[in-house]
Amino acid sequence: MKNLIFLKINNLLHSFYLFDGFLHWAIQRVAAISIIFFTFSLAFLKTFWFFLLLVLFLFYHIFAGIRTLLDDYIHDLNLYLISNLYLRVTIIYFLKTIFIVFLC
């Protein structure tokens, strides 16, 4: 009985893992299409909010792309954790800088 519960939990987690790859792929494509849309909208409308959304989608797209490269090509756990931490700190720094420059 106990093994059956662990097997069901393992199958459930595995199905979430398989869905996670598709979800990442879909969000990456939506971000790319949004970048194109906001670039053209910014060219014609020139509003601040389109620029802000463009920057946010652009940074998310860059973050997701570099994260994919880290997931695929770095196999050492310590190097992966350090790289992932550095990537997150860098993205937070850039978003903070953009917030300070454009909103304050």
> How far apart, in Å, do the first and last CA atoms of the chain sit?
60
CB 47 within 8 Å of CB 54:
no
- Cβ neighbours for 32, distance < 8 A, ≥ 6 positions apart: 61
Give the pLDDT score at 6: 62
Convert the pLDDT of each residue in 33-74 to its tens digit.
Answer: 999 999 998 888 888 888 888 988 998 899 888 988 888 898
CB 38 within 8 Å of CB 53:
yes
Q: Is the model's pLDDT at 97 over the cut of 80?
A: yes
Angle (CA) 73-84-9 rounded to 5° is 80
Give the pLDDT score at 52: 85
Main-chain dihedrals φ then ψ at residue 46, nearest 5 degrees:
55, 55
Convert the pLDDT of each residue in 17-43 to its tens digit.
Answer: 556 677 788 888 999 999 999 999 888
Task: Record the tokens describing residue 69, joined without a space.
Answer: 């490269």
CATH topology of domain 2-103: 3 helical TM bundles of succinate and fumarate reductases (1.20.1300)
